[in-house]
Amino acid sequence: MTAGVYLRPTGFVDAPFGHDGQVLRLAGGLCWFSQIEIIVAEDGRRTRPSLVPIERLDGALAALGPLENAGRTILARLTAPRGPLALGARTVRLDQPQAMAILNLTPDSFSDGGRLDGDPAAAVDAGMRLLEAGAALLDVGGESTRPGAKPVWEGDEIGRVVPTIERLARAGAALSIDTRKAAVMEAALDAGAGLVNDVSALLWDDRAAGVVAARACPVVLVHHQGTPGTMQKEPRYADVLLEVYDWLESRIAAAEAVGIPRSRILVDPGIGFGKTLRHNLALLNGLSLFHGLGCPLVLGASRKRFIGALSNEASVEQRLGGSVAVALLGAAQGVQLLRVHDAVETVQALRVWRGLRDEALSPV
């Protein structure tokens, strides 16, 4: 029988003032929590969940016996600040939630119908407008990974993304390349991208992990079950929150083993990548658990199918309200990067959220 422990921050408060010894700061950001749900699992099944106030946490961890050291390691990760991302000439701070704007250059994007495919000038204009609106970085992609999507030849993918990345990099933009393929990673990094966002978590291409390690660039590891062609065919989990956490932990360990330090790894629970509606909602409710991995969190839930399912089957273009709601949920649980289609509206929502934080943290 294998046993594990998990810590989920909860009981969030507006500010730490007057709560000495009763609250902790989450990942060096703008969220403070007053309680932790300690979850002990044996063979993947929860056996001893308990809700512990911060002032009693030391004793609760000591009571874990052989799991105490693991619990204290997770606690240290929960509270450790996340360092900024150095992306070319730009630095993206991770002590507050930031918008990671999606720039799709595919002919079959589920969200924009391929309006930028084959037109680098229009793509650059669109990207600059997203940055002017307040997006911290652009995530450029040349292959759709929506459910049912077919793989794209790497040469075509490179041809779609490189001209736009080169122009945006010359303009000083912070850029990410959304790809599973090592050759595309290399070409995009050469063109000026600074971060790799891999929906396969470096499993699709045998060379991918080596490329990321050799280039010393940050990487986003995204959880998935199956491939884009199969991932929505009856996905199953016994406990989706713990299984996704364990899977990401194993991928972090694999990345570290090939020379990618945890300090350069970001994780994404993969909303919609092999999950039912209930799986997605369970992950969103439990997002704060993933800070225990010690990596910045990326949340990509914008315009996804589950939003439509909760809104009378609203079409993709009618999912703005739900997308912003989920982005704010992520911000309230300490998510550092929110991957979004609607950057203008999301940035405005985050600015209001930040204004509320600033007021709570201002001396009376």
Q: Could you tell me what percentage of the chain is helix, strand and coil, using 3-state DSSP and rounding each to the nearest 5? A: 40, 20, 40
Q: Compute CA distances 281 → 272, 307, 309, 349, whole Å.
A: 10, 10, 12, 21
The domain limits of the chain are 3-79, 85-360
Q: How far apart, in Å, are the Cα atoms of 78 and each of 129, 176, 289?
A: 35, 25, 9
pLDDT single digits (tens) 119-137: 889 999 999 999 999 999 9
C-alpha distances in Å from residue 216, one per residue of 140, 211, 212, 263, 292: 19, 8, 6, 11, 23
Which residues of the chain have a pLDDT value below 70? 1, 108-118, 147-148, 227-232
Q: What is the pLDDT of residues 51-96, one digit of tens each?
A: 999 999 999 999 999 999 999 999 999 999 999 999 988 999 999 9
The catalytic site residues sit at 304, 339
Six-digit token string for 41: 């699992």
Helix axes 320-332, 277-285, angle to 10 degrees: 40
Distances (CA, A) of 159 to 106, 111, 156, 191, 228: 11, 21, 5, 12, 22
Query: What distance in Å separates the CA atoms of residue 235 and residue 181, rounded to the nearest whole number?
Result: 24
The CATH superfamily of 85-360 is Dihydropteroate synthase-like (3.20.20.20)
Predicted TM-score of the model (pTM): 0.94
The overall average pLDDT reported for the chain is 93
Bridge-based pairing of strands 337-340 and 98-104 is parallel
Euclidean distance between CA atoms 104 and 48, whole angstroms = 44
DSSP 161-217: HHHHHHHHHHTT--EEEE-S-HHHHHHHHHHT--EEEETTTT-S-TTHHHHHHHHT-
Please provide residue 193's backbone torsions phi and psi, each rounded to the nearest 5 degrees: -70, 155
Which residue in this structure is represented by tokens 């396969």? 200
- The predicted pLDDT at position 151 comes to 82
